């Protein structure tokens, strides 16, 4: 059994517990459920956008504890002030140390910045929950879903006003799972079965993603030169978490990268 298999097995149990404790009607009654949704597509493609999706992540199965003391609200507020176009918040607790409260805190701290709920979506319940927590965007991971589920979940997300980021890891997943009902396509350079990272994965798949989708590169992005090269390949979004979170000041690390990118463009 791979780490991904273990995560999904645990997630099914977690969702069942949540559904029993908090029915859909209770989620739909929460104030954030009816708030206007912000567009990640618009934020990433706006003139002068940094393109950075800055992620709040405490730990991971491959790295262990990355930052055990950071607070979600303060960190994401710092990210937004430092130039993040979009925020990403992990809400998986057993494997990544995230919670629903982290997303709530980020939403309260950053009312004007789109937020991705980063989790392993396997049911419509989690999509309703994402809306109720204040997310603007959900992640659908091809490795966890059938092509039919990607269509089903993305269409349901749109019914709730949410945008959808489809994550793939190779050409086979891209060809089998790409659907017109998703908004952004992310290429994860980290293999979720082995957790090995290869940034060239994004470079290889760039030309295979139609230009109608916003292209997002994920994982292993540490240097401005890498981001600039991927921009040339057609990427408009860059999801970065560990590079920032492993520092003592994630927002300052982001600000430094944004300054590098701005300087490179100006020159």
List the catalytic residue out of 67, 143, 154, 219: 219
Give the tokens for residue 240. 């970065």
Structure tokens at 229: 């090269």
Residues 60, 169, 10, 164, CA torsion sign? positive
11 is catalytic: no
Concerning whether 218 is annotated as a catalytic residue, the answer is yes
Let me know if 189 is a catalytic residue.
Answer: no
Marked catalytic residue, from 154, 188, 189, 202: 188
From 50, 118, 129, 215, the catalytic residue: 118
Active-site annotation holds for 118: yes
Locate 140 and state its tokens.
């659908």
**Exactly one of 167, 173, 202, 242 is catalytic; which is it?**
167
Choose the catalytic residue: 57, 163, 173, 202.
57
Whether residue 215 lies in the annotated active site = no
Q: Rounded to the nearest 5°, which phi and psi values hold at 85?
A: -80, -35
Q: What is the CA radius of gyration of the chain?
A: 17
Active-site option among 129, 163, 173, 218: 218
CA 117/CA 105 separation, integer angstroms: 12
Cβ 238 vs Cβ 232: under 8 Å:
no
Using CA atoms, how far apart are residues 220 and 98, in angstroms rounded to an integer? 20
- Contacts (Cβ under 8 Å, ≥6 apart) of 180: none
Marked catalytic residue, from 55, 129, 173, 242: 55
Give the rounded distance of the alpha carbon of 173 from its chain centre: 18
Active site residues: 55, 57, 118, 167, 188, 218-219
């Amino acid at each position: 059994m791979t780490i991904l298999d273990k995560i999904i097995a645990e997630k099914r149990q977690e969702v069942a517990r949540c559904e029993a404790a908090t029915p859909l009607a209770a989620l739909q009654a929460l104030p954030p459920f009816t708030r206007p949704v912000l567009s990640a597509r618009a934020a990433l493609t706006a003139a002068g956008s940094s393109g950075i999706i800055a992620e709040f992540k405490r730990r991971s199965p491959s790295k262990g504890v990355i930052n055990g003391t950071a607070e979600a609200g303060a960190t994401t507020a710092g990210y937004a002030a430092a130039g993040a176009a979009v925020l990403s918040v992990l809400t998986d607790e057993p494997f990544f140390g995230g919670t629903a409260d982290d997303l709530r805190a980020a939403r309260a701290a950053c009312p004007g910045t789109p937020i991705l709920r980063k989790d392993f979506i396997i049911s419509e319940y989690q999509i309703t929950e994402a809306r109720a927590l204040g997310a603007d965007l959900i992640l659908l991971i091809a490795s966890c879903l059938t092509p039919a589920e990607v269509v089903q979940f993305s269409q349901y997300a749109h019914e709730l006003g949410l945008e959808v980021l489809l994550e793939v890891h190779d050409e086979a997943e891209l060809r089998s799972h790409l659907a017109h009902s998703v908004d952004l396509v992310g290429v994860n350079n980290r293999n979720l079965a082995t957790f090995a990272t290869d940034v060239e994965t994004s470079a290889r798949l760039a030309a295979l993603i139609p230009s109608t989708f916003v292209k997002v590169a994920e994982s292993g992005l540490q240097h401005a030169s890498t981001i600039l090269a991927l921009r040339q390949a057609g990427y408009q979004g860059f999801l970065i978490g560990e590079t920032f979170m492993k520092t003592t000041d994630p927002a300052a690390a982001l600000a430094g990268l944004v300054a590098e990118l701005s300087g490179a463009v100006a020159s």
